[in-house]
Amino acid sequence: MKKIIFKPLFILALSTFVLVSCSKDDSSNSTDETASTLVGAKATFVSGRAFSDIEVTKFLVNVEDFELEFDNDDDFGDDDDGGIGGNYFSDIELEGPFVLDLSEPNLVFPIATIDVPVGQYEELEFDITRNKEPNNELFQRSILIEGTINGTPFVFWHNFEEDVEIEFEDTNLPINIENDGENLIINFDLTFLFNTNVINLSGATDNNGDGIIEISPTDQDGNNALANQIKEIMKDAIDLLDD
């Protein structure tokens, strides 16, 4: 199937962190039919130590407040409030929070299967947030990545919060959902972790000598700056892929 990549000016060219994919055609919002659509997420990364001696074994992300905005613009520029000459629907919202377990590369983690109005959509929004459940592995964290660097276990976590907003209309490639079984998949691409031109994990240290390389805003291993670098790459590298 044809693939089209959109890169806004603020996107880092060397890596992508968040992508969205969905079926696309040129239909308009002219029906009150609905389609059963899977909203899910997956991760893309190299599994095993064949690349840069880095292995990812766990990847968790805490997200909430998904909103898929229906394209309800009428001739007067009004949105989401009804109008003349078409059927108008409320935006699709999933509150959460959801802990996405994306530890297995390319395996889709299902968030929800919902009936959505057939037609064109203009924007997807969701929040990466800190988990607030004390018994959860992600408590007070938004992202957790575990694995090995040159055979030594490493743990990366961060507590940054980020609003993700992807406007389909800016791509001139409207996203349309037309049939049951179509998917809306968010892909978290961790390829940058293995690209030493983007970030070099081999320089991470285990200063406290406990056998685990900890990379976080508060670690005692000397990797706070590296954690901040990873965070900034994740926050800046948002891309849109339609396949």
- 99-139 per-position pLDDT tens digit: 999 999 889 999 989 888 888 888 888 899 999 999 999 99
Candidates 160, 190, 177; CA nearest to 15 is 190
The reported pTM is 0.79
Q: How do 152-158 and 213-215 pair as beta strands?
A: parallel
pLDDT tens-digit map of 24-35 = 444 444 457 888
What b-and-e string marks burial along 43-77, b requiring 16 or more CB atoms within 10 Å of the CB? bebbeeeeebebbbeebbbbbbebebbbbbbeeee
